[in-house]
Amino acid sequence: MRRAHQLGIVVAVSVGAVFSLAACTSAPSPQPTATTSTSAALVPSPSSSAAPVYIADGTAAQNQAFFDFVNAGVVTTAAAANTPADGVAFISALRAGGFAVADMQVTPDVTTVGVKADSIQFSVAIAGQCLIGQYGFGHYASVVVPALGTGGCLIGETRPIDW
Interval 75-84: pLDDT, tens: 999 999 998 8
* Per-residue CA distances from 30 to 27, 96, 126, 133 (Å): 9, 34, 21, 20
What phi, psi does 97 have (nearest 5°)? -80, -10
Q: How confident is the model at residue 110 (pLDDT cuts 50, 70, 90)?
A: very high
- d(C-alpha 36, C-alpha 39), whole Å: 10
Residue 2 has pLDDT above 90, yes or no: no
Q: Rounded mean pLDDT of 67-86? A: 95
Q: What is the pLDDT of residues 21-58, one digit of tens each?
A: 333 333 444 444 444 444 344 444 444 578 999 999 99
pTM over 0.75: no
Sheet holding 119-126, edge to edge: 34-38, 139-146, 129-136, 119-126, 104-106
H helix runs in 25-157, sequence order: 60-80, 87-97
Which of the two residues, 122 and 6, has the higher pLDDT score? 122
